[in-house]
């Protein structure tokens, strides 16, 4: 079976005469190839662009109430069939079904936000800016936009991007990860069922060749991306050099500070939940626990106890709390970080490589959660984004040392502090140089009415994703100054206009 593209409301494997190039799609829980995905060549990509350009005038002219109705309809479709979409996600990604359902819920927050498009697209008006002169500003779509989405959230991140882009009146080329492509097609079909005209949302699958075509095409006016920092940086540089708007979200190394006055049990629960959910394959996962002062031993003991009691298994096992990682390459890379930690001076307290998965059928990409203690900056397990179920414990003597370390890190996506002291929490919020901050909240992903984005090497571009900032990204502002003179009022005046 080949996962096809979805262009102009129909499925096709290629717009060329030749057979399409394809790539494998694996079930991470078994290691088995379960289907192939079509890779778009230049003719297929240009066909998708032709379709998107042709659909743009009609969609841009569509009334806001109609656009809002599409979002309302889409929400009802996804809610009523969320179990079906979750199964699609879990089969190709490996995350457990409860996690997939949570992903869908967070994606729906943006669909619900976009249902308020009548409010979000409002402009401004100023009467009598000067004598007899009025000024108003409108929001207009930027045109054809591209959304390049990651493997770790095959439904949520597309819904973050495409819902806003479409609500704002753009047409979209969606290029999902080739590792788990089927959720994107499912969403595109749901949009069609919700009343979205054909050609407004087009899904093209592919690898780097397809991305390069998107980045260089003069027909695409804006690019949204989520992925690793090296790729985000490259996409930002290339796309902006071709005159596009770009928002490219990169990697993360999220720290969770635990103060001596914190509820240690609650902090340990939070660290384990935020560190190992979705096998740590989240850009907002906690990967570094910063233990301040004398509570370190107790905190590590509680984290270790909870980690060892986790159930790792297949997504279709109701008892499983964590599934496999996405690929064999990811598995090997994560295992290398754990294996090499001791030679850099760290101590592996829980070794995920030692977990036994022999009872599971197939050759799935399973690794247990790991805890590495006595980690310091300069160690690979600290400096690099592992993107797997590994919790690093850093011990510091003071709050100031914790803040200094976090602010020195090249990543600045999310962070959290656990404390009972309001003043400490306020100081942390004020001083920390990170885009998203949690106070006794380990994964501070903003609700849909706010926007998502980090700082430093976690974001390239100046616009965060979904929510209010996303409508700024997907629209251009146009300012109109108007005057209606009386008969015979006009006269030549070479001076600069003033009041």
Model confidence pLDDT, tens digit, residues 251-298: 999 999 999 999 999 999 999 999 999 999 999 999 999 999 999 999
What pLDDT, on the 0 to 100 scale, is given for residue 499? 67
Is the pLDDT at 5 greater than 90? The verdict is yes
Average pLDDT over residues 388-410: 98
CA distance 468 to 119: 11
Averaged pLDDT, 454-472: 95
pLDDT for residue 427: 98
Question: Among 137, 135, 164, 171, which Cα is nearest to 48's?
Answer: 171
> Does 2-251+454-480 carry CATH code 2.130.10.10?
no
Three-class DSSP labels, the chain: CEECEEECCEEECCCCCCCCEEEEEEECCCCEEEEEEEECCHHHHHHHHHHHHHHHHHHHCCCHHHHHHHHHHHHHHHHHCHHHHHHHHHHHHCCCHHHHHHHHHHHHHHHHHHCCHHHHCCCEEEEEEECCEEEEEEEEECCEEEEECCCCCCCHHHHHHHHHHHHCCCEEEEECCCCCCHHHHHHHHHHHHCCCCCCCEEECCCCHHHHHHHHHCCCCCEEEEECCHHHHHHHHHHHHHCCCEEEEECCCCEEEEECCCCCHHHHHHHHHHHHHHHHHCCCCCEEEEEEEHHHHHHHHHHHHHHHHCCCECCCCCCCCCECCCCCHHHHHHHHHHHHHCHHHCCEEEECHHHCCCCCCCCCCCCCCCEEEECCCCCCHHHHCCCCCCEEEEEEECCHHHHHHHHHHCCEECEEEEECCCHHHHHHHHHHCCCCEEEECCCCCCCCCCCCECCEECCEECCCCECHHHHHHHCEEEEEEEEECCCCCCCCCCCCCCCC
pLDDT above 80 (res 497):
no
pTM: 0.96
Assign 231 a pLDDT band (cuts: 50, 70, 90): very high
Judged against a pLDDT cut of 80, whether residue 43 lies above it is answered with yes
Which whole number is the average pLDDT over 9-13? 96
Query: pLDDT tier at 419 (50, 70, 90 boundaries)?
Result: very high
Half-sphere exposure of 124 (CA within 13 A, CB side): 7
Is the pLDDT confidence value at 411 over 90? yes
Q: What is the CATH architecture of 254-439?
A: 3-Layer(aba) Sandwich (3.40)
Which residue reads 């499925």 in tokens? 11
Q: What is the pLDDT of residue 488?
A: 80
Q: What angle do CA 226, 233, 102 make, to 5 degrees?
A: 15
Res. 498: pLDDT tops 90? no
Query: CA–CA separation, 89 vs 484, rounded Å?
Result: 58
Q: Using one digit for the tens of pLDDT, what is the confidence trace for 167-198?
A: 999 999 999 999 999 999 999 999 999 999 99
Condensed to tens digits (0 to 9), the pLDDT of residues 116-175 reads 999 999 999 999 999 899 999 999 999 999 999 999 999 999 999 999 999 999 999 999
- In the chain, what are the domain boundaries? 2-251+454-480, 254-439
What is the pLDDT of the chain when averaged over all its residues? 96
Alpha carbons 30 and 91: distance in angstroms, whole number:
10
Long-range contacts of 401-406 (CB under 8 A, 24+ apart): 401/292, 402/255, 402/257, 402/290, 402/292, 403/257, 403/428, 403/431, 403/432, 405/255, 405/290, 405/377, 406/255, 406/257, 406/290, 406/432, 406/433, 406/434
349 alpha-carbon distance from chain centroid:
31
Copy the structure tokens of residue 69: 């109705």
Q: Which residues are catalytic?
A: 283
Average pLDDT of 436-441? 98
Does 44 have pLDDT greater than 80?
yes
């Amino acid at each position: 079976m080949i996962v096809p593209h979805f262009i102009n409301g129909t499925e096709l494997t290629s717009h060329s005469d030749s057979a399409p190039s394809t790539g494998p799609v694996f079930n991470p829980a078994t290691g088995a190839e379960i289907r192939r995905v079509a890779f778009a060549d230049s003719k297929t990509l240009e066909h998708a662009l032709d379709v998107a350009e042709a659909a743009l005038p009609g969609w841009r002219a569509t009334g806001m109430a109609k656009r809002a109705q599409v979002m309302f309809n889409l929400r009802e479709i996804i809610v009523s069939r969320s179990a079906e979409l979750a199964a699609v996600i879990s089969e190709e990604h490996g995350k457990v079904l409860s996690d997939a359902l949570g992903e869908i819920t967070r994606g729906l927050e943006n669909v619900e936000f976009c249902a308020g498009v009548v409010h979000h697209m409002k402009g401004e008006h100023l009467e009598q800016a000067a004598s007899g002169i009025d000024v108003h500003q409108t929001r207009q779509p930027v045109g054809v936009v591209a959304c390049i989405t990651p493997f770790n959230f095959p439904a949520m991140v597309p819904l973050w991007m495409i819902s806003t882009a479409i609500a704002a009146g753009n047409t979209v080329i969606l290029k999902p990860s080739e590792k788990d492509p089927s959720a994107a097609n499912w969403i595109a079909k749901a949009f069609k069922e919700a009343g979205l005209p054909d050609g407004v949302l087009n899904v093209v699958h592919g690898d780097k060749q397809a991305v390069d075509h998107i980045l260089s095409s003069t027909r695409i006016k804006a690019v949204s991306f989520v992925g690793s920092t090296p790729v985000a940086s490259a996409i930002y540089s290339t796309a902006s050099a071709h005159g596009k708007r770009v928002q490219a979200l990169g990697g993360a190394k999220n720290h969770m500070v635990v103060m001596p006055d914190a509820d240690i049990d609650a902090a340990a629960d939070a660290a384990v939940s935020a560190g190992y959910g979705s096998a740590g394959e989240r850009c907002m996962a906690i990967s570094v626990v910063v233990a301040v002062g004398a509570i370190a031993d107790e905190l590590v003991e509680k984290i270790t106890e909870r980690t060892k009691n986790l159930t790792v298994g297949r997504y279709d096992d109701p008892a499983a709390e964590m599934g496999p990682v996405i690929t064999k390459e990811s598995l090997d890379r994560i295992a290398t970080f754990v294996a090499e930690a001791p030679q850099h001076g760290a101590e592996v307290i829980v070794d995920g490589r030692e977990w036994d998965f022999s009872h599971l059928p197939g050759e799935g990409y399973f690794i247990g959660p790991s805890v590495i203690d006595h980690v310091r900056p300069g160690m690979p397990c600290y400096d690099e984004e592992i993107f797997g179920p590994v919790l690093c414990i850093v011990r510091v003597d003071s709050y100031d040392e914790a803040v200094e370390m976090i602010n020195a890190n090249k990543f600045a996506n999310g962070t959290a502090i656990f404390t009972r002291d309001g003043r400490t929490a306020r100081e942390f919020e004020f001083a920390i140089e990170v885009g998203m901050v949690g106070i006794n909240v380990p994964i501070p992903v903003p609700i849909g009415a706010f926007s998502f984005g980090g700082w430093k090497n976690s974001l390239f571009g100046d616009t965060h994703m979904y929510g209010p900032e996303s409508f700024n990204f997907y629209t251009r502002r146009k300012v109109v100054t108007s005057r209606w003179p009386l008969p015979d009022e006009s006269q030549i005046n070479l001076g600069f206009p003033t009041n």
